[in-house]
Structure 1
Amino acid sequence: MEDPQLVEEPQPVAADIQDLLLDTPDVEAFLTELARHSAAMFSSPGGEVFCGITMLRHRAAATVASSSERALSLDELQYQFADGPCLTAAREGTLVHIPDLGRDNTWPEYNEVATKQGIRSVLAVPFPLTDNAAKAGLNLYSERTGGFDQASVQRATDYVEQASKGLRLAVLIAQHSQTAANLRAAMASRTVIDVATGIIIAQNRCTQAEAVELIKKASSNRNVKLRDVAQAIVDSAGGGPVQTHFK
């Protein structure tokens, strides 16, 4: 019978990810903490692991979070070559494990530079995202040859499967936040244009359509944004900056 003290308790990964989402103020902070948490999960006293999270959107790759500057530079190294284990994992949705960069010839140029920077093994695991416009991968780097054994590979796969739920939620939050920001910007522009229209109507005793057309012509002739023309009209009338209030 196994000694209960020797039985390793399973890592409450899902609970940890939920806590990260609740405890961080925004998506950027959550992703950074996720990268740090991931690096800590796979690091050991004898070998530190560096973690980056790559996201592909509209064919462009970027590191949205990293556990350290070292991890960020290792990710960006792949972007310079436009290829590498982590980009392949994210693009193709397949796990990439390189136990020894010195013996791998899949990406010879990348492997050579990464090796010179002290990296000996890489593990890249794709995040299963439901958003077809976005792909992502968890990038783990080790300075040791064979830094990730089969148990680590399986652990990373299980970890990413659970962490992906948090990442999907983070992506959705980011998308909704951007949509809300775009809406606020559009409404702010609409407000100053409406105020400028009212000023022109009062000054020229014209219709609303005629006032709007005057603003559009000024915008076209000066090659200036419609909102900027409208703000200039408000400023000239002594109105100052126009604020849009949201409840």
Structure 2
Amino acid sequence: MDDNGDAPLVDALSSLHSLLLGAPGLEELLAKLADVAAKIVEPPASCGITTRYDGQPRTIVSSDARAAWIDEQQYSLREGPCLDALASGAVVDVADYLGENRWPQYVDTARTAGVKASLALPLIVDGQTIGAMNLYGYERPDTFSEADRERATAYAEQAATTLAFAARAVRQSELGEQLEQALASRSVIDQALGLLMGQEKCDARTAFELLRRHSQNHNRKLRDVAAALIARHTGRPAVDSREFDSGPSGRDTRT
């Protein structure tokens, strides 16, 4: 390898690290991940990044439409290097599609799309394969040199960490939304309990039992029953009481 053989990888990793430090949006981060991967080989390839969603392989981002289409053919045909990399956790290298016969239906489709060679690299974090990085070359058979393979393998290690970071961000976002919904529901339920306690002259436990029984008898969510009770007695929709914590200027208005 010449002195500048590692330059594309160094540039790629530097670009990826700068992006992470810049705290980009999730879509921007993933798009950059695929774009940079496509350019670490020479000539540049197409890149699709696959992960599993609800147990099914999905392309979450690609450097171009052609890579996404080729990925999708593998999913629909249930065969191909990408799926083998996902299943085995090993690199699947197709040097020449003209002589390839491991996946007959997929290979025919890929040839028609102009694919001459491909690399499918597993994305592994803590010993678990969480995805695959798929590189497609269209220039000639044996598109990927040994240096290309080394750079792609090193980049895949970084891409795996980035993908895991993205997945964690999504999970945290979903958990945050669920928590917000739970807190909002709790606020409405507490307001309804206060109404029932005043009406029925009962304690909180008894009021909750009345609310719960109504929820079960009418097959409605507890929050919906509580919101309906509030609306019926106030003539206004139920509101999350946490909205009252600060005034327009942000000043705490609680007493």
> What range describes the TM-score normalised by the shorter chain of this pair?
0.7 to 0.9
Task: Pick closer, same or farther for the CA change 1:110–1:140 going to 2, 3 Å.
Answer: same
Instruction: Judge conservation of contact 2:40–2:151 (CA < 8 Å) in 1.
Output: no
Partner of 1:242: 239
Task: Pick closer, same or farther for the CA change 1:205–1:138 going to 2, 3 Å.
Answer: same
Instruction: Judge conservation of contact 1:51–1:71 (CA < 8 Å) in 2.
Output: yes
Instruction: Judge conservation of contact 1:56–1:90 (CA < 8 Å) in 2.
Output: no
Partner of 1:3: none
Partner of 2:192: 196
Alignment of 1:164 onto 2:160: yes
Instruction: Judge conservation of contact 2:12–2:36 (CA < 8 Å) in 1.
Output: no
Instruction: Judge conservation of contact 1:129–1:135 (CA < 8 Å) in 2.
Output: yes
Please, which of 118, 130, 134 is the counterpart of residue 135 of structure 1?
130
5+ residue gaps, structure 1: 1-5
More moved, 6-15 vs 102-111: 6-15
Alignment of 1:77 onto 2:73: yes
After superposition, what is the alpha-carbon deviation per residue over 1:91-144, rounded to whole angstroms, capped at 9, x for unaligned? Answer: 221001112223212111121222222222221111121284x61111111223
More moved, 206-215 vs 104-113: 206-215
For 2:239, the aligned partner's letter is V
Distance 2:69 2:199 in 1: 59
Instruction: Judge conservation of contact 2:188–2:226 (CA < 8 Å) in 1.
Output: yes
Q: What TM-score results when the alignment is normalised by the length of structure 2? A: 0.81
Task: Pick closer, same or farther for the CA change 1:83–1:231 going to 2, 3 Å.
Answer: farther
After superposition, what is the alpha-carbon deviation per residue over 1:164-191, rounded to whole angstroms, capped at 9, x for unaligned? Answer: 3333333333333332222222222222
Instruction: Judge conservation of contact 1:231–1:241 (CA < 8 Å) in 2.
Output: yes
After superposition, what is the alpha-carbon deviation per residue over 1:2-61, rounded to whole angstroms, capped at 9, x for unaligned? Answer: xxxx842632443322212133533332111111111233353xxx52111111256322
Instruction: Judge conservation of contact 2:42–2:148 (CA < 8 Å) in 1.
Output: no
What is the SS of the residue equivalent to 1:146? coil
Distance 1:54 1:28 in 2: 15
Q: When the two structures are aligned, how many residues end up with a matched partner?
A: 238
Instruction: Judge conservation of contact 2:46–2:64 (CA < 8 Å) in 1.
Output: yes
What is the SS of the residue equivalent to 1:206? coil
Higher Rg of the two aligned structures? 2
Distance 1:235 1:83 in 2: 56
Task: Pick closer, same or farther for the CA change 1:42–1:214 going to 2, 3 Å.
Answer: farther
Distance 1:181 1:61 in 2: 25
Partner of 1:21: 20
Instruction: Judge conservation of contact 2:12–2:37 (CA < 8 Å) in 1.
Output: no
Distance 1:94 1:49 in 2: 20
Distance 1:147 1:234 in 2: 68
Q: What TM-score results when the alignment is normalised by the length of structure 1? A: 0.83
Distance 2:219 2:70 in 1: 43
Task: Pick closer, same or farther for the CA change 1:125–1:59 going to 2, 3 Å.
Answer: same
Task: Pick closer, same or farther for the CA change 1:176–1:201 going to 2, 3 Å.
Answer: same
RMSD: 2.6
Partner of 2:252: none
Instruction: Judge conservation of contact 1:51–1:139 (CA < 8 Å) in 2.
Output: yes
Displacement after TM superposition at 1:89 (Å): 0.9
Displacement after TM superposition at 1:241 (Å): 4.0
For 1:76, the aligned partner's letter is E
For 1:18, the aligned partner's letter is H
For 1:138, the aligned partner's letter is M
